[in-house]
Amino acid sequence: MGNFTRSHGMKYTLSMAKENWLQIEFEFQPKKVGRVKIGLPIWRPGRYQVQNFAKNIPEIKAFQGDKKILIQKVELSSWEIEVLEQAPVKLVYSYYAVQRDAGGSVANGQMLYINFINCLLCPKGFENQDCTVAIKFPKAWKFATSLTYKNPFFIASSYRELVDSPFLAAPQIHSFTWKNSGINFFLEGIGPATIFNEKLIASYQKIVAYQLAWMGASPIKKYHFLLWICPEPFYHGVEHTQSTMMVMGPEDRECYDDLIGLASHEFFHVWNIATIRPKPLLPYRYGEITYFETAWIVEGVTTYLGDWFLKASGVISEEEYLNLLLGNIKLHFDRDRFSAQSLTESSMDLWLDGYGPSTPGKRVSIYFKGAIVALGLDLMIQQKFNGARSLKDIMQRLNAKFGNLKSGYVQSDFFSIAEEVYEAPLTDFWDLWVLGSGDLLEPLASILRLSGLALSESPTLGLQLSKITNT
């Protein structure tokens, strides 16, 4: 076994032994003799639902030197090993890598795509230890990741950084770079070369520049837009602190509009979750369910702003933006208008209901109703202060107060900061829009009307959104 540069660092070696399977070796220096608990995450950030990645591991073997040591399953995603001496431990196992989405892992002859949170074990209490990763793939292949590369190893300052850094390798990876505000940006991906065109790159540059200026402070020094244009119909993105993984398909469709919208959404998560963190998620506890009632802020505010940034940065026209806005409004009112739960209740029940269909009439979408709340709050502030204040002031103050990752916020903190910006209580707004489950069509239409937009509903056309013109 290899030498360790630090006393309790961790070393991983990954290779593809056969189609669809990752072969993994994991070495670490134990802190004690006796029973040591080893765990695999049961969920990943960005998807607040138990996924039990351990189901993809058929068997694990443990060694100290040439001696095989006892390893036993003690929970769904946890094992215990019997450490015989203060010497490095080596675990050997395989992982079934066939999850073809932005949060999964795939290993085949065309690509090696790894979300390390799916498959890399970690001893309890080692989450902040440095990690060295060796990944074996054909020499002619290219790779893309936000991890630091020191040939032949990928380096992470901690297990937390490692599992927040997806990895992509393939025979051909399209790659483009630019710099803004001292930050190095990368657009890297696999798929038809026609997708990675000048129009897409220019739009990404505009989106990034606008968001950086809008927030006024950035927690990152580099950022990777990782993209897989896949053969199947697909639309999925996952946020990370220094990157996003986006999966789009099929290969022969025009996906520019989806790619700019998804990128704008995921990039704003650099602030709204990766930096401005709900208190229950600080730090992430990968081995247990972590309930939090502010998922609507994480995803709803980001959904609203992600689309708005497209217009504000000049990537789309005002007419195109109004179509996007109407689309989000319809997704709430057509699906969840009369659902029983409030936004906070549906935020908590993500862990129970997941992201697919749930009991009819029960939940609301944290994405689309959350976006409507963000829209209503933003317009109310702008109307009161004649455009001099907006949702921007709330997000900047949240970032200043909670964005240092030393303290997380709770829902009452968001309410308080919003009321500071609005300079008045918003109790009635919170009670109806966030804490209640009443119909928001008329309240939303009233707010939109004051901003020059008419939201109407007809039996034949459904919901319609248009600009009010003076005659």
What was the pLDDT predicted at 469? Answer: 86
Q: State the average pLDDT over residues 29-57.
A: 96
Q: What is the pLDDT of residue 471?
A: 54
Label residue 470 by pLDDT band (50, 70, 90).
confident
Q: Classify domain 172-270 by CATH number.
A: 1.10.390.10
Mean pLDDT (whole number) for 349-376: 94
156-206 pLDDT per residue, tens: 999 999 999 999 999 999 999 999 999 999 999 999 999 999 999 999 999
Question: Can you give the residue ranges of every domain in the chain?
Answer: 10-169, 172-270, 287-471
* Contact status, residue 122 vs residue 128, Cβ threshold 8 Å: no
Q: Domain 10-169, what architecture?
A: Sandwich (2.60)
pLDDT of residue 210: 98
Between CA 300 and CA 371 the distance in angstroms is 4
Per-residue pLDDT tens over the stretch 282-320: 999 999 999 999 999 999 999 999 999 999 999 999 999
Omega prior to 58 cis, within 30 of 0 = no
What is the CA 237 to chain-centroid distance, rounded?
7
- Residue 358 is predicted with a pLDDT of 87
pLDDT in tens, 427-446: 999 999 999 999 999 999 99
pLDDT tens per residue, range 223-271 = 999 999 999 999 999 999 999 999 999 999 999 999 999 999 999 999 9
Residue 8 has pLDDT above 70, yes or no: no
Q: What DSSP string describes 146-191?
A: SSEEETTEEEESSHHHHTT--EEEES--EEEEEEETTEEEEEEEES
CATH of domain 287-471: 1.10.390.10
**CB 71, CB 122: distance < 8 Å:** no
pLDDT band with cut points at 50, 70 and 90 for residue 354 = confident
pLDDT over 90, % of the chain? 94
Mean pLDDT (the chain) is 95
Residue 211's SS3 state is helix
Query: What is the average per-residue pLDDT within 347-353?
Result: 94
User: What is the per-residue pLDDT for 166?
Assistant: 98
Domains 10-169 and 287-471 share a fold: no
